[in-house]
Amino acid sequence: MAELKDKRILVTGGAGFIGFHLCKKLTDLGLNVTIYDNLSSGKMKNVKDVPKAKFVKGDILDLKKLCNMDKTDVTFHLAAQVVVPYSMENPTEDFETNARGTLNVLEKARKDDSRLVFASSAAVYGNPTQMPTPESYGFHPFSCYGLSKVVGEEYCQIYSSQYGLDITILRFANVYGSRCHGVISDFLDKLTKNPNKLEIIGTGQQSRDFVNISDIVEALILAGTKENTVGQTFNLGFGKTTKIIDLAHMILRILNLSGKTVVTTTDVSWQGDINTIWFNIDTAKKELGWTPKITLENHLKKLIAERKMLHGDNDSL
């Protein structure tokens, strides 16, 4: 990553799941990294586990504090309120963090003439009728979270076209891996407590495009360094979709619990939940030079082995 050598890198939300893995990779490469996080959802453990990074406890809503920080050359803007049900119950707070907060980070980038990579979401597409969904599908948000991400993207476009900032937008599908909170960790936690029963929120027919954190970190770094990515928007997923019920059975098979664990569903999902996420990732492959490498099943085996959760013999591991 010679392009980032001697660059001052700012990672907002660097104490979160994706931020931790990005900051660890960047500091392992010997780069100058500052984590900016208010620790509302990020964890101090993640900060401590990246000891080579500088840490500033701060909120992206604090424009004065942001702009008084040292000059930044490259900004990875990951800080966000990402819980869809929370956004539906607290839409104004979700807007403040994701829309106004992004505007503040853009102001910091404008002041510094910093390159910026913005983390957006599949939620901007809502429930798409075109699958796999390309970047050109357009905005059809189905939740307040998705809408606030649309606003963030639109501000990025304005700051790019009107102020000449070098900005790349990345739309994440379902990112998973160690230290992640989501459906995979939820299932593993439930099965650790009670391997005889697994409850799925919703019908189980919801479908997601799962992409590993290692692949996402690679894409983030490419987006922050390659010249041809400036002004572009990329879908980042694996390019396939998996039903949540199939994910559950995949996990049970790896754990040797197939036919032993009773799987139930609530049949009622949360407000704003999306039916299917399935990305077309052709643009990222072509323009970003990025292809995801880690399959869901292989990484599940690794996660389960790390947790020492195996029940009985399983030769597939």
Residue tagged 């660890």 (tokens): 24
Domains identified in the chain and CATH numbers: 2-173+213-236 (3.40.50.720)
State the pTM of this model: 0.94
DSSP H or E segment with residue 113:
none
| 202-234: pLDDT as tens digits | 999 999 999 999 999 999 999 999 999 999 999
Would you say residue 268 has pLDDT above 90?
no
DSSP assignment, residue 13?
A: T
Distance CA 304, CA 308 (A): 6
| 61-108: pLDDT as tens digits | 999 999 999 999 999 999 999 999 999 999 999 999 999 999 999 999
Cβ neighbours of residue 2 under 8 Å, at least 6 residues apart?
A: none
pLDDT at residue number 158: 98
Beta carbons of 49 and 87 less than 8 angstroms apart:
no
Q: pLDDT category, 1, cuts 50, 70, 90? A: low
42-54 average pLDDT score: 98
Number of H helices, E strands in the chain: 12, 13
Q: Which residue has the higher pLDDT, 191 or 306?
A: 191
Would you say residue 308 has pLDDT above 90?
no
Tell me which residues are annotated as active site. 145
pLDDT at residue number 314: 42
| 155-164: pLDDT as tens digits | 999 999 999 9
Q: Which residue has the higher pLDDT, 206 or 317?
A: 206
